[in-house]
Amino acid sequence: MVKKDMEIVKKYQKEMFLLGRANALLNWDQEVYMPEGGIKGRAEQSAFLSKLGHDRATSNVLFTSLKKLMKSRTIGKDKVMVDKLYKGLCKSRKIPHSLVEDLSRTTMIAGPAWRKARKKNDYSVFAPYLQKIIDLKIKEAKFLGFKGHLYNGLLDDYEEGMTVEELKPIFEKLKKGLIELLRKIKKSKKYGKKLKLLGRKYDAEGQKFFVEDVVVRMGLDMKKSRIDLSEHPFTTRFGVGDVRITMAYRDDPMFAFLSTVHEAGHALYESNLPVKHEYDILGDAPSIGLHESQSRMWENNVGKGKAFWKYYFPLFKKKFKLSGNFEDWYKEVNSVFSGYIRIESDEVHYCLHVILRFEIELGLLDGSIKVKDLRDVWNSKFKEMFGIKPRNDVEGVLQDVHWSFGSVGYFPTYAIGTMYASQLYNQMKKELKGIDKEIGKGNFSRVQKWLKEKVHKHGSLYLADEIVKKVCGEGLNPEIYLKYLNNKYGEIYRF
Amino acid sequence: MVKKDMEIVKKYQKEMFLLGRANALLNWDQEVYMPEGGIKGRAEQSAFLSKLGHDRATSNVLFTSLKKLMKSRTIGKDKVMVDKLYKGLCKSRKIPHSLVEDLSRTTMIAGPAWRKARKKNDYSVFAPYLQKIIDLKIKEAKFLGFKGHLYNGLLDDYEEGMTVEELKPIFEKLKKGLIELLRKIKKSKKYGKKLKLLGRKYDAEGQKFFVEDVVVRMGLDMKKSRIDLSEHPFTTRFGVGDVRITMAYRDDPMFAFLSTVHEAGHALYESNLPVKHEYDILGDAPSIGLHESQSRMWENNVGKGKAFWKYYFPLFKKKFKLSGNFEDWYKEVNSVFSGYIRIESDEVHYCLHVILRFEIELGLLDGSIKVKDLRDVWNSKFKEMFGIKPRNDVEGVLQDVHWSFGSVGYFPTYAIGTMYASQLYNQMKKELKGIDKEIGKGNFSRVQKWLKEKVHKHGSLYLADEIVKKVCGEGLNPEIYLKYLNNKYGEIYRF
């Protein structure tokens, strides 16, 4: 009986994964190659596959088997799988169909409204849609009925096990530390210098060489991957043997290069997840935050590090005929500047952007912030944290797409991932003696192997924080990240 | 009641089409971009979507609704749709599940066996698999129980309504006419001259220019299409707004150029099929033969014609710095030569390759040809028709992939399409005065519009032969094609 129910559970998961991956290809193709005439048809194809996946996810057959298995003495990995699936299904079954449909209808029109608002540079065009979304997300959070802050049920969708109660003091400590660090940086004589090496156009052909070189050095097997062009870089897995990334060229070569390093970090994680769980939930990452830790460790801790540029700077210098020395280059790659846009932010400002959104989301959920006031709230909070005020809505409250999708609770994962990244990096440096020397020779293979062994291979057998605890001896901790930043930028800005 | 059943019928079709198009993207991607590591996962994804489509196609709900509708007084297009679907379902319901599975299992391993046989250049490696396939196809044909020759049920899968009884005398007339024409050509002093202009390497960059130029002139809207590289050129529709072709470069520029013209002919048909039937059977072409007529009319009648090269030769001459005159070029593009391979064949030999396969398929089905003797049968028949004998199996009996798929009855559609193409071309020239002049100026738009109006817009509301009859006043007729060839090659080879 248990065996039969377990078979049903595995069959349903496999079908969901197969549909999900076919759908991922529909989306990938849409971003990368689809002619514009295909949009309408593609939407129908994708919606239909989503529906088939949803039918399976919400099937009574699956739920009945899971309920039986919950009562039986399942052990080991099967138990983790059953618990996880059962928890997820219980969550989604708490939300009435009418609410799901309402949210889906609302976000369908909120996307175009957000784009229109951006075009007009006017938040008020988007506000009514956001109001509806927030109202519905509040309802959703109430139905979920998580302990503690209303936000917890939403946050759990992206960062399983994390709560506002745990996260808030961490973010407060982080915010304080970052603002203090920024104060020191901005006092430095080295601050605010114009870019001399990076502030010009680099040709795409030269950039291409480095993009293709770095992913292979990082350990991406190009027989199981590929790089294509898209407006926004992203990573998709179609199977453990087919994980692809996308990229875009800009004048600034660091955009293509470091966003590729970032995506390749995601891709290595996806490629190294346990093959035997390819078609079940244990073969996925346990949280968005942990996924982000992989991309951000490669992008920031490694990719903006001294050792990394010891290897790459001479090659960049030669390829692009640069005049300038290593110190200048390293400083420019890590130059700190006050900007309005999260995704263009340097390492020091980045988490402040995230904390701003976290605070706003909490306020929207508990009613202390009103949607109609959001432009002003955003701008004054921004001024308070960054010392500058957005000049318009596109560089302010309208900059991110997430809310228009109905994603509330996603933003914190960026900062969680960033902190985890530093914790893992710190631990790796302790364990892998001489790793900087290897990186300095362009040999990154031990980094990849270490991450695979410590993080990737577990899939979602443990929660994100449990994995970090197993590796580093403690869960999420802002101190390590702050220390890393203080050391690095103290050296660059001489304080 | 009728309304409800009709809704069910349309819903099921739409779901099948959506699944089919998602699956088409899985296959397109596999041929064009997929990294090799993706093969295993892709096979599972594709098999699952196929299964979901098959579940719908064979659903009792659909069949019950169709049965009810067959008894009701459905009219107009709905009646054609219901009749077509009902006929198709009755066909497939005649074949026992065990046979379908047996065929699927056999073809699954026959493909690799065929490739292995080709690698070893040894038919005997493939023969046991082919034996099994032929045995199963004979069983299938018996279950179908079509009137007349056993082959009719199989042929009907690709060329609905066509029969051996109708086709055999047509192919005999065609064969006689082609052999007679070849006799005249080979007697000509102009025959057998070495290629001077085409027998060398043309750079891919130059070829690319012409490939991209010609599809636009033909009328392909590049906002609704794209061209990618694949080993074998093919066309796929993901929706009326997204029909893509693929191509490959070889030294000989005519391969890329004319195969693109061929695929663009298919793509124009797919793009012009009736939009309101995008998700039902009436929005498809009625037969493979008629589809092939569109590609072959563009490739042969137009693309190897004088008017076409009046426009393109000066451009080729300039781009590739050719020395030579128009007459030489036109003759080389249309040079007739005895070769072993169907897909490399000239216009005159082409249908003989097809007739050879047709005769063999008939013999295999009625038992007059044995699978074990097929190499010898092929070679002696080839010698008889072409005057030369294949030197090995790869250029003989192992050259086509079709049988390894279990496709028996497909080959005739190539010759049917070729004949239809000339009939349509002949009629077009009568109706569109001055069209050669327009083509000579690189303006092909009236050709496209005429084909859309006469052929494409009907979808499968009529059978292929009915459409040709509506346009040309008569159905399949080899005389028009033979006359076209005699005129054209009589002028080239001076007889």
Is A327's Cβ below 8 Å from some Cβ in B?
no
Compute the C-alpha angle B467/B468/B474, nearest 5°.
125
Of residues A237, A281, A271, the one with CA closest to residue A460: A281
Mean per-residue pLDDT over chain B, rounded: 96
Is B244's Cβ below 8 Å from some Cβ in A?
yes
CA distances for B20 relative to A412, B23, B27, B409, angstroms: 40, 5, 10, 23
Mean pLDDT of A415-433: 98
Give me the residue from B25, B39, B222 closest to A26, CB to CB: B25
Distance CA A332, CA A195 (A): 6
Is B29's Cβ below 8 Å from some Cβ in A?
yes
Mean pLDDT of A327-335: 96
Is B39's Cβ below 8 Å from some Cβ in A?
yes
pLDDT tens column, B56-106: 999 999 999 999 999 998 899 999 999 999 999 999 999 999 999 999 999
Report the residue count for chain A: 495
Of residues A21, A43, A42, the one with CA closest to residue B242: A42
Is A222's Cβ below 8 Å from some Cβ in B?
yes
Inter-residue contact A264 to A245 (CB < 8 Å): yes
Catalytic residue numbers of B read 263
- In chain A, what residues touch B242 (CB-CB under 8 Å)? 34-35, 37-38, 41-42
- Under an 8 A CB cutoff, do A45 and B238 touch? yes
Mean pLDDT of B118-143: 98
Q: How close B34 gets to chain A, by Cα (Å)?
A: 8
Mean pLDDT of B138-156: 97
User: pTM score, two decimals?
Assistant: 0.94
Inter-residue contact B369 to B403 (CB < 8 Å): no
Give me the residue from A35, A48, A244 closest to B18, CB to CB: A48
pLDDT band at B2 (very low <50, low <70, confident <90, very high): confident
User: Does the pLDDT of residue B1 top 80, yes or no?
Assistant: no
User: Does the pLDDT of residue A181 top 90, yes or no?
Assistant: yes
User: Does the pLDDT of residue B112 top 80, yes or no?
Assistant: yes
User: Does the pLDDT of residue A450 top 80, yes or no?
Assistant: yes
Give me the residue from A19, A35, A244 closest to B242, CB to CB: A35
Helix-helix angle A412-431:A347-366, to 10 degrees:
140
Mean pLDDT of A251-265: 97
The pLDDT score that the predictor gives to residue B158 is: 98
Continuous segment of H or E residues that includes residue A146: none
3 state SS of A473: coil
Mean pLDDT of A324-349: 95
**In this structure, what are the phi and psi dihedrals at residue A72, rounded to the nearest 5 degrees?**
-85, 175
Chain B residue closest to A18 (CA)? Answer: B45
3 state SS of A237: strand
Top-confidence residue, B495 or A371: A371
- Please give the torsion angle defined by the CA atoms of residues A335, A336, A342 and A343, in that order, rounded to the nearest 10 degrees: 10
Is A238's Cβ below 8 Å from some Cβ in B?
yes
Is B205's Cβ below 8 Å from some Cβ in A?
no
What strands, in cross-sheet order, belong to the sheet with A235-239? A227-229, A242-247, A235-239
Mean pLDDT of A118-145: 98
- In chain A, what residues touch B25 (CB-CB under 8 Å)? 25-26, 29, 45
- Under an 8 A CB cutoff, do B239 and A38 touch? yes
User: Does the pLDDT of residue A354 top 90, yes or no?
Assistant: yes
Mean per-residue pLDDT over chain A, rounded: 96
- In chain B, what residues touch A29 (CB-CB under 8 Å)? 25, 29
3 state SS of A242: strand
pLDDT tens column, A375-396: 999 999 999 999 999 999 999 9
Mean pLDDT of A84-99: 94
Mean pLDDT of A412-428: 98
pLDDT band at B406 (very low <50, low <70, confident <90, very high): very high
Distance CA B388, CA B382 (A): 7
pLDDT tens column, B299-319: 999 999 999 999 999 999 999
Distance CA A67, CA A307 (A): 52
Mean pLDDT of A416-434: 98
Give me the residue from A23, A25, A41 closest to B29, CB to CB: A25
3-state secondary structure string, chain B? CHHHHHHHHHHHHHHHHHHHHHHHHHHHHHHHCCCHHHHHHHHHHHHHHHHHHHHHHCCHHHHHHHHHHHHCCCCHHHHHHHHHHHHHHHHHHHCCHHHHHHHHHHHHHHHHHHHHHHHHCCHHHHHHHHHHHHHHHHHHHHHHCCCCCCCHHHHHHHECCCCHHHHHHHHHHHHHHHHHHHHHHHHCCCCCCCCCCCCCCCCHHHHHHHHHHHHHHHCCCCCCCCEEECCCCCEEEEECCEEEEEECCCCCHHHHHHHHHHHHHHHHHHHHCCHHHCCCHHHCCCEHHHHHHHHHHHHHHHCCCHHHHHHHHHHHHHHCCCCCCHHHHHHHHCCCCCCCCHHHCCHHHHHHHHHHHHHHHHHHHHCCCCHHHHHHHHHHHHHHHHCCCCCCCCCCCCCCCHHHHCCCCCCHHHHHHHHHHHHHHHHHHHHCCCHHHHHHCCCCHHHHHHHHHHCHHHCCCCCHHHHHHHHHCCCCCHHHHHHHHHHHHHHHHCC
The pLDDT score that the predictor gives to residue A2 is: 84
User: Does the pLDDT of residue A281 top 90, yes or no?
Assistant: yes
Top-confidence residue, B455 or B495: B455
Distance CA B353, CA B382 (A): 8
Inter-residue contact B277 to B256 (CB < 8 Å): no
The pLDDT score that the predictor gives to residue B73 is: 87
CA distances for B231 relative to B30, B214, B250, angstroms: 11, 21, 11
3 state SS of A239: strand
B370: left (phi over 0), alpha (psi -120 to 50) or beta: beta
Q: Which of A15, A159, A160, A263 is catalytic?
A: A263
User: Does the pLDDT of residue A285 top 80, yes or no?
Assistant: yes
| CB-neighbour burial class of residue B358 (10 A; exposed 0-12, middle 13-18, buried 19+) | buried
**Structure token pair of residue A140:** 């959703």
The pLDDT > 90 percentage for chain B reads 97
DSSP letter for A159, please: B
Q: What is the ipTM of this complex?
A: 0.93
Residue with token string 């002949």: B426
